[in-house]
Chains A and B, each alone.
Chain A
Amino acid sequence: MMRYIKLVNFEINRFSKIYLSLLLITLVSQFAGVIIVTKSLLKDARDIMKEERLSEAAYITNYGSLDFNHIANTLLFVGPIALSAVALIFYIFLIWYRDWFGKNTFIYRLLMVPTSRLSIYLSKATAIFLMVLGLIAFQIIILPMQNALFNSNVPEALLNEMSISTITIANPILSLIIPSTFTQFLISYGAGLMIMSILFTSIMFERSFRIKGIIMGLLYCGIAAVLFLAPFFVMGFGNFHFYPNELFGLLLAIGIILTGLSVWLGAWLLKNRVTV
């Protein structure tokens, strides 16, 4: 157990520089976005009011009031979220391959560590998952600050104040990363874990059998996708209808089995087949 925690910590520390940069980029870009976009929104509004000689109330009826949605849809706001997502998806692969292709083939030492190979596999998965959640948590912390900043910068007459939960529901990207209910959160990130474990296992295939392994890895991804979507195929071609709760139960069960299978297979490959 202690070894596993040590390994998780080790993986996080290894990524900490890039991770901190991602947090910093998000912080700076999003706050800059709030300030810059608010300014330009207000300027546009004032220009229109001047040109068309509208009062603030008339402007709101014609053009609508200003709300945080205007900010949350800009590149400065969404860009860093997308960047972080891409970086972490990329790191799913890099977390393994850097050990092989890094400066001093680190995987030698890693595989020599007197601990089960499963711990190595799990520690890498945990590190990535924890960092994803960390980014989400960071967004949840800075979002109310950004909202407050926006609300204080826009004159009350033009402002439509939104609560944090309304903002996250209204914006498609925010609603994707911060689901509206805790159950939905568990389901979304559970699905994320499943996909990550399947990718890890595909990487293990590649590391075990090289070129042949790439095909096996892709095949494994395909089989996993077909298995997971099997209930939908049954409904589409088999002319059988599942009730929504049955469908949910099936997907949940298949998801858990697939995740378990992937972890087991990945760890098994790492233990028995991976060559350095």
Chain B
Amino acid sequence: MKRYLCSIIIGMVVILSIGTYYVKVASSASSLPKYTFKTLEGSDKELDPVIINASLQNSSNFYEPLTIESNTTTYESERSYLENLTGRQGHEIERLVKEHRSFMRGKDSISSLYEDDDFLAYAWVNSEYTKSGNMEAKFDIGLLEKKDEEETSFQIELPNQGRIMNADVRDVQLVHSKLQVLTMNDVNSNSEQTKEVHLYTIDIANKKVLSDKTLVSESFTYPDQVDFEMPIDVAPSMPNNMVFISLIKGVNHEDGSFEEKLKESKLLSYNYETEKLETVKKESLSLDMARSGYSDGKNLYAVEMKSGKYRIKTFDFSSQTLTNDKELDIAANKEDQYTAAFKNGRVYFLLNRMNQEGKTNKPAKLLIADIKTGKTLYKGETVMNKKNSKIFGLFIDDLEIK
């Protein structure tokens, strides 16, 4: 026995120490505080489709990502290795992967996807930079006919790519069986900078780019600056007729600060059906509202804070008018940060106060209301199952609705 002492000691130490360590790691994950929403008003059934991506942090180096789904908290460290390998994906992408696994390979950008009852389409600009610094770019195009699962995929050269430095797909639509791809491009030029919004029309049957239309082109030189913005798309893959583009002009000051020149900025709308590009009149929809708004293809919703209350304004695309303006039954505070989502005819409104050092954390509040009537359907706030977890702060990343 004595001869084996060395090996036995090493073996024992290995098993005991490594074993204990990983048992402890596993058990410390389950000792993290769990958040749930305590119902203050309405039915907690409303919580079922709510997914909140957040993280638990403290002032030093503690960081634990978590998800509150259907009112249950799950930490990333509690998930299996394989689940974490796939990472955090939007539930929309997750659903599409489940339904069309083969077609969805390598397609993970929701704004590059278009889905209606019959088709699922995809467009992406695949770019590489050559040694001389030029961009070589191709469109990755995919179309799936849902009925017979027939896939078409091909690559075509991006037109006029010599002058383009970067192309970013922002919206994809299928109009009269032609693929419409809206991109924001940075253009190569010597002295000045140029940013453009392009609309490419692609004939899928003949694998051809039919047209390359420049919707907007803005050139500027430093310290001037121009940026294009689009409202947050709450239904990015759904068919819609209209897109809004805010054209924001500004100037960079010498001290490094940036000042927007809102008077020279404007709001544009483009209608895929009529192919008309228009400047939206301030009276019907303000630039401010469009920039901070959420679009679902039919309406644009904007959150406004006015005299201690939040209001939800609805702008209807087809009639081009404000159709609704409802007050939410939740107190507003400048220190609060809101995260909003619009789906199923409801507004989901999450308020969270960023915790400051030394202050106890306020619970996050969630309000679910009917967009049309403004009626509160649910109101609740987070509670922790552990009392001693005050040092932790809950940081909300985003709010998703199934």
- Identify A140's interface contact among B4, B18, B105, CB under 8 A: B18
How many chain A residues touch the partner (CB < 8 A)?
Answer: 40
Whether A240 is near chain B, meaning CB under 8 Å from some CB there, is: yes
Cβ–Cβ contact A182 & B13, under 8 A: no
The answer to whether B13 touches A12 (Cβ under 8 A) is no
Q: Is the CB of B13 within 8 A of A240?
A: no
Complex Cα–Cα for A8 and B4 (A): 10
- Taking a contact as CB atoms closer than 8 A, the residue among B21, B86, B106 that contacts A245 in the complex is B86
Roughly how many angstroms separate A262 CA and B285 CA in the complex, as a whole number? 69
Q: What band does the interface of chain B fall in when counting residues whose beta carbon is under 8 Å from A?
A: 20 to 34
Question: Contacts A166-B61, A170-B61 given: A185-B13 contact, CB under 8 Å?
Answer: no
Of the listed stretches B77-85, B187-195, B340-348, B363-371, chain A binds B77-85
Do A12 and B7 touch across chains, with their CB atoms under 8 A apart? yes
Q: How far is the CA of A137 from the CA of B16 in the complex (A)?
A: 8
A154 to chain B: closest CB distance in Å? 14
Whether A9 lies near B13 (C-beta < 8 A) is no
A9 touches B77 (CB 8 A): no
Stretch at the interface among B22-30, B113-121, B276-284: B22-30
In the assembled complex, the CB of A145 is this many whole angstroms from the nearest CB of chain B, namely 12
Contact A137 B105, CB 8 Å, known A9-B7, A16-B6: no
CB-based nearest B residue for A166: B61
In contact, A8 and B22 (Cβ under 8 angstroms): no
Shortest distance between the CB of B104 and any CB in chain A (Å): 9
- Which B residues are in CB contact (< 8 Å) with A240? 105
Which residues of chain A come closer than 8 Å to B21, judged between CB atoms? 140, 164, 178
Of B17, B85, B106, the residue contacting A137 (CB under 8 A) is B17
User: Would you call A162 an interface residue if the criterion is a C-beta within 8 Å of the partner chain's C-beta atoms?
Assistant: yes
Decide yes or no whether A276 CB sits under 8 A from chain B.
Answer: no
Q: Contact flags (1/0) for A48-78 with B, using CB distance below 8 Å?
A: 0000000000000000010101000000000
Confirm or deny: A133 has a beta carbon within 8 angstroms of a beta carbon on chain B.
Answer: yes
14 new A-B contacts, CB < 8 A, other than A181-B77, A183-B81, are A5-B4, A9-B6, A12-B7, A13-B7, A16-B6, A130-B10, A131-B10, A138-B17, A140-B17, A141-B13, A166-B61, A182-B25, A241-B106, A242-B105
Chain B contact residues, CB within 8 Å of chain A: 3-4, 6-7, 10-11, 13-14, 16-18, 21-22, 24-26, 28, 60-62, 77, 80-82, 85-87, 97, 101, 105-106
